[in-house]
Amino acid sequence: MELPYQIALTQINGVGVVLAKNLISYCGSASAVFKTKKSTLLKIPDIGEFTASSIVAFRDFKRAEEEVNYIEKNKIKPLFYASPDYPYRLRSIIDCPVLIYQIGEVDLNAEKIIGIVGTRTPTDYGKHFCEQLLEDLNGTGCIVISGMAYGIDICAHKAALKFHLPTVGILAHGLDRLYPAVHQKYVNSMLLNNGGLVTEFISNTNPDRENFPRRNRIVAGLCDAVIVVETALRGGSMITAELAWQYDRNLLALPGRIGDEKSAGCNFLIKTNKAEMIENSLDLVKSLGWDIASKLPIAQRSLPIDLNTEESMIWTFLKAKNIMAIDEIVILSSLSSSRVALTLLDLEFKGFIKSLPGKRFQLL
């Protein structure tokens, strides 16, 4: 049985995923690695004295056997990188995990998979865009990947559930826990909706800081496209975006107001030509070449070309939320009340919006 040896290989000090796959390639299997003499190991490229000694001295197979028992007891599906069931998208990246562990019946080799990432403290603009995007994708068979974190991550998972799209949480710890624990209440719904949880970490692994960048590469590697919805210039979302760009995935970012810290990362990705701008689901479908445009809602609102900067900004806010109060627009735009009122009046005269009772406005 190879699984205990595969698990053990991932636990050796100094053996990362690239080196582990190199060892398996030269030795023929994970079990063969542990049966190979030190002198032979030293002949393998990039295997030095320390690594060879660590392999030969490794004796903690009991921990690997315990993990096998845990996997069997909890109906976890281990996926070895050389197996046919291993996600082909993930296998294509050089630093793909040797093993991943999956709970749920989700098909990680499905035809359409997208990742959605973003800030942990999104605005209504970002949350409404995320929900609208996934509402539009209802019925397309698309799988939604994210990291189960606060903010845009959980917004994406919840919206996917709401609109009957399978969704998968990629974890930075073992499957015996969930971080943050408050999101445990969504897991059963994810599993019942043909989604699941995936990690490369064995049980009893804590969500330590260094695990999150490793988690982010799986998010990027599993997807056809990664969509960034509101992010600062630095943080986990930008790490995922950079990885997606390096892995030659389609990268799309939601543009935001100039000077808004939570949109600074998205605007930077667009400005530097790393990400395409996304305004709606049609942008995503066109980017990926999916032949499902006819399944999308007919009313895809495109930004009118004859609007000035302030009109365009307010039109975009209304597009994300449809109905907004004037006070909310003033806060989001950082314009004066009088300037917002005048701009709204101009938009109404041009036939793009209509006024509602209570100083609210709706996009037409």
- The pTM assigned to this predicted structure is 0.82
> Which residues have C-beta within 8 Å of that of residue 325, sequence separation ≥ 6?
358, 359, 360, 361
Residue 5 has which token pair?
Answer: 């040896």
Asked whether 64 and 8 are in contact (CB, 8 A), the reply is: yes
What pLDDT, in 10s, does the model give residues 347-359?
Answer: 888 778 888 888 8
Biggest alpha carbon distance in the chain?
A: 82
Q: Model confidence at 317, in pLDDT bands (50, 70, 90)?
A: confident
pLDDT average, residue stretch 320-341? 86
Asked whether 255 and 282 are in contact (CB, 8 A), the reply is: no
User: What pLDDT sits at residue 309?
Assistant: 81
User: What pLDDT sits at residue 346?
Assistant: 87
From first CA to last CA, the distance across the chain in angstroms is 63
Q: What are phi and psi for residue 303, nearest 5 degrees?
A: -65, 120
Other residues' Cβ atoms within 10 Å of the Cβ of residue 99: 23
Q: Model confidence at 319, in pLDDT bands (50, 70, 90)?
A: confident
User: What pLDDT sits at residue 291?
Assistant: 81
User: What pLDDT sits at residue 299?
Assistant: 43
Instruction: Judge residue 150's burial from the number of C-beta atoms within 10 Å of its C-beta, 0-12 exposed, 13-18 middle, 19 or more buried.
Output: middle
Task: Give the total residue count for the chain.
Answer: 364
Other residues' Cβ atoms within 10 Å of the Cβ of residue 218: 28
User: What pLDDT sits at residue 85?
Assistant: 94
What pLDDT, in 10s, does the model give residues 274-313?
Answer: 999 998 898 999 999 988 776 676 445 556 666 888 888 8
What pLDDT, in 10s, does the model give residues 210-241?
Answer: 999 999 999 999 999 999 999 999 999 999 99
Q: What is the dihedral of CA 4, 7, 11, 16, to 10 degrees?
A: 140
Lowest mean pLDDT, pick from 53-57, 85-89, 283-287, 291-295: 291-295
What pLDDT, in 10s, does the model give residues 1-39?
Answer: 899 999 999 999 889 999 999 999 999 999 999 999 999
User: What pLDDT sits at residue 321?
Assistant: 76
In the chain the domains, ranked by start, together with CATH numbers, are 3-73 (1.10.150.20), 113-295 (3.40.50.450), 309-363 (1.10.10.10)
Give the residue with greater pLDDT, 128 vs 80: 80
pLDDT average, residue stretch 138-152? 96
pLDDT average, residue stretch 135-156? 96
High-pLDDT (> 90) share of the chain, %: 74
